[in-house]
């Protein structure tokens, strides 16, 4: 892949500026530069004054801080394979047509990006790879010397790379990985690397001839001494090459990791923006229309005061969110009420009027606010309905008791204790009724168990009440274990199979993961989920285990016979 190269170097002293200018203008001898090749001045003329004079003229008479950046040297280039697509490694060789396209794109970019801030630009062709040195005077929009305004943070530097890459993209030159943690080489370091040639082993081309009286061993030693300095240089270069390759691999790995992290952050930013937009939309939807705007559209006018409006035989005191007539007999705090009052119309006509004047969105906004107000008033006035348990019919209890003890094989004393505590009884149809409670004991629902299975009694708070049993009157603070099942009947079967040794356990029926008391269960040391062979319960078990990863499964029996105890306390 072919990449564009952009490096900057801040120049903070006049001496450094003169030194840099001497190098780029070839006013002093430059190693690795071919003196027979002439460089090209792209911006500025050959008879221009010295670079430092140009910079001083651009800065003008303004006061210069001691730590100010006087000029910025910009180095522009591209990967060597762009200029030498044939793979040639000869110094100074390049494809002239490609060079011309890159030169024009770079000069156009400098001009469009910085305009007359660029006081000089030189194209160097006398070295291994073509490149441009440009000098910029960092003047801000107010004409002040202010490098920080142009190159003050990573975002600006990254945007600079983006901009140059966009200018070179038509040439097939790409930008490096955005957001890479890899650091840029300084201009001096880059300059050294691009001018390195492959080592030429001139000393091996003409070895010395053996002397007439010289032995083979002596000749060997003499040649080794002669070649040793060159061998040392080659070893050093190979070592540097190996280190450079390792650094390159490390940089590529860091760049890839950085790119992945950048993509994650960009995705998270998009999610946050979407959330913010959703919250803003919800906030706007809850906010009513401005009553001042509605009053204006209704044809009311201010009467000398900002909040006194009159017209159509009315005189109102109106603010953004409230209105009332001067007697206080007619008042309101929403747009629909104001429209109905002034236009003497019903709710439907007021909605149509708002849609005509404020659009459908504005009408929906006003209706949403109106509905919230009406709902709040109803909640404040109307009493909260209390759940009413199905009537207990004692004459039907014997049949239910026989079913529980004979068919379900529950212990007699367990069934009696449940009935005496009011947790299980019979309704008028001979069905078993299991009472649901909050964790504090407040009854708020019931489950009826009949021939067709279990059925929730209408009005029950399904997600805030459960059929649960605790042994021996245990306090909630002493609960060490909670056993979850899918129905009251399975709860009692599990309780019957293990109650002799688990007085600190609560047995609870939870028919769905939607009604799990997560806050309570998170405080209990041990939570178990009763498992059986019924495939219909597998989804229920999996959902519970996902919400309670600390829970464990236990195998329960559908029917069990246990040793009966003479007494049993329940809570």
CATH of 291-381, one of 3.90.580, 2.60.40, 1.10.10, 3.30.70: 3.90.580
- CA 291, CA 320: separation in Å to the nearest integer? 5
C-alpha atoms less than 13 angstroms from C-alpha of 460 in its C-beta half-sphere: 22
Buried b / exposed e along 345-374 (16+ C-beta atoms within 10 A): eeeeebbebbbebbeeebbebbbbbbeebe
Strand partners, 314: 311
* Residue showing tokens 């849609």: 355
Q: Give yes or no for a contact between 360 and 289, defined as CB atoms under 8 angstroms apart.
A: no
- CA 482, CA 435: separation in Å to the nearest integer? 18
- CA 323, CA 292: separation in Å to the nearest integer? 9
**Pairing, β 443-450 against β 526-531:** unpaired
Closest CA to 185 of 173, 193, 176, 174: 193
* pLDDT for the residue 200: 47
Q: How large is the angle between the packed helices 335-343 and 347-381, nearest 10 degrees?
A: 130
Closest CA to 130 of 94, 101, 165, 166: 94
What is the token pair recorded at 167?
Answer: 């200018």
Domain boundaries, the chain: 4-194, 224-285, 291-381, 394-555
Residue 391 DSSP class? P
- CA 261, CA 181: separation in Å to the nearest integer? 10
Q: If you count them, how many residues does the chain have?
A: 571
What is the token pair recorded at 236?
Answer: 């050093």
Whole-number Cα distances in Å, 303 to 77, 278, 315: 72, 40, 9
Q: What is the DSSP string of 86-108?
A: T----TT---HHHHHHHHHHHHH
- CA 368, CA 374: separation in Å to the nearest integer? 10
* pLDDT for the residue 484: 94
What is the token pair recorded at 73?
Answer: 């040297």
Closest CA to 143 of 162, 119, 117: 117
CATH fold label, 4-194:
BirA Bifunctional Protein; domain 2 (3.30.930)
* pLDDT for the residue 377: 83
Residues 6+ apart with CB under 8 A from 29: none
Rounded to an integer, what is the distance from CA 22 to the centroid of its chain? Answer: 50
- CA 179, CA 151: separation in Å to the nearest integer? 16
First to last CA, the chain: 75
- CA 99, CA 108: separation in Å to the nearest integer? 14
pLDDT, one tens digit for every residue, the chain (571 residues): 678 888 889 999 999 999 888 888 887 777 667 787 888 899 988 888 999 999 999 999 988 888 899 999 999 988 888 888 876 656 667 888 999 999 999 999 999 999 999 999 999 888 778 899 999 999 988 889 999 888 877 778 888 888 898 898 888 888 765 544 444 445 555 555 445 444 445 555 567 788 888 888 888 888 777 777 667 667 666 766 677 677 777 777 887 788 888 888 888 888 888 877 776 665 555 568 888 899 999 999 886 677 788 888 888 888 888 888 877 777 888 899 999 999 999 999 999 999 999 999 889 888 888 888 888 888 888 887 888 999 999 999 999 999 999 999 999 999 999 999 999 999 999 999 999 999 988 999 999 998 778 899 999 998 899 999 986 544 455 788 999 999 999 999 998 888 655 568 899 999 888 889 998 998 888 999 987 767 767 788 888 888 888 889 887 655 543 444 444 556 6
Q: Give yes or no for a contact between 320 and 289, defined as CB atoms under 8 angstroms apart.
A: no
3-state secondary structure 457-508: CCCCCCCCCEEEEEECCCCHHHCCEEEEECCHHHHHHHHHHHHHHCCCEEEE
Strand partners, 123: 40, 132
Is residue 114 classed exposed, middle or buried when 0-12, 13-18 and 19+ CB atoms within 10 A define those classes? middle
C-alpha atoms less than 13 angstroms from C-alpha of 167 in its C-beta half-sphere: 24
* pLDDT for the residue 502: 54
Do domains 4-194 and 291-381 share one topology? The answer is: no
């Amino acid at each position: 892949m072919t990449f564009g190269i952009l490096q900057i170097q801040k120049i903070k002293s006049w001496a450094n500026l003169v030194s840099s200018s001497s190098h780029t203008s070839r006013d002093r001898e430059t190693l690795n530069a071919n003196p027979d090749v002439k460089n090209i001045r792209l911006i500025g003329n050959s008879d221009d004054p010295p670079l430092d004079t140009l910079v001083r003229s651009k800065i003008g008479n303004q006061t210069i801080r001691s730590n100010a950046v006087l000029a910025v040297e910009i180095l522009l280039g591209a990967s060597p394979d762009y200029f030498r697509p044939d793979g040639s490694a000869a110094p100074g060789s390049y494809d002239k047509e490609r060079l011309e396209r890159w030169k024009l794109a770079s000069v156009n970019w400098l001009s469009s990006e910085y305009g007359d801030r660029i006081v000089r630009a030189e194209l160097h062709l006398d070295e291994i790879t073509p490149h441009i040195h440009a000098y910029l005077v960092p003047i801000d929009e107010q004409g002040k010397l202010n490098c920080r305004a142009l190159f003050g943070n990573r975002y600006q530097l990254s945007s600079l790379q983006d901009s140059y890459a966009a200018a070179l993209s038509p040439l097939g030159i790409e930008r490096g990985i955005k957001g890479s943690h890899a650091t840029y080489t300084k201009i001096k370091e880059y300059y050294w690397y691009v001018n390195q040639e492959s080592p030429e082993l001139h000393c091996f081309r003409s070895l010395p001839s053996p002397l007439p009286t010289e032995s083979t061993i002596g000749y060997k030693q003499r040649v080794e001494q002669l070649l040793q300095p060159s061998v040392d240089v080659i070893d050093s270069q190979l070592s540097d090459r190996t280190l450079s390759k390792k650094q390159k691999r490390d940089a590529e790995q860091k760049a890839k990791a950085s790119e992945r992290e950048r993509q994650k952050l960009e995705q998270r930013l998009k999610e946050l923006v979407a959330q913010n937009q959703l919250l803003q939309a919800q906030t706007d939807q809850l906010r009513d229309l401005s009553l001042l705007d509605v009053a204006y559209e209704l044809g009311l006018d201010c009467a000398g005061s900002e909040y006194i409006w009159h017209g159509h035989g009315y005189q109102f005191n109106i603010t953004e969110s409230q209105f009332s007539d001067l007697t206080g007999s007619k008042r309101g705090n929403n747009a629909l009420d104001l429209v109905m009052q002034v236009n003497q119309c019903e709710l439907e006509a007021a909605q149509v009027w708002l849609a005509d004047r404020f659009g459908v969105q504005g009408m929906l906004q006003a209706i949403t606010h109106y509905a919230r107000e009406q709902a709040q008033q109803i909640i404040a006035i109307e009493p909260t309905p209390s759940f009413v348990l199905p009537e207990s019919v004692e004459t039907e209890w014997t049949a239910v008791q026989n079913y529980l003890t004979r068919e379900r094989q529950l212990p007699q004393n367990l069934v009696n204790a449940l009935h005496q505590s009011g947790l299980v009884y019979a309704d008028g149809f001979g069905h078993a009724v299991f009472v649901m409670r909050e964790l504090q004991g407040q009854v708020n629902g019931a489950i009826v168990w009949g021939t067709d299975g279990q059925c929730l009694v209408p009005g029950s708070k399904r997600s805030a009440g459960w059929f649960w049993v605790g042994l021996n009157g245990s306090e909630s603070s002493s609960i060490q274990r909670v056993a979850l099942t899918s129905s009251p009947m399975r709860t009692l079967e599990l309780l019957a199979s293990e109650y002799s040794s688990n007085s600190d356990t609560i047995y609870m029926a939870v028919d769905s993961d939607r009604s799990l008391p997560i806050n309570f269960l998170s405080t209990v040391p041990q939570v178990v989920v009763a498992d059986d062979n019924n495939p219909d319960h597998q989804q229920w078990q999996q959902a519970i285990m996902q919400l309670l990863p600390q829970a464990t499964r236990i195998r329960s029996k559908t029917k069990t016979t246990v040793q009966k105890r003479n007494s049993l306390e329940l809570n």
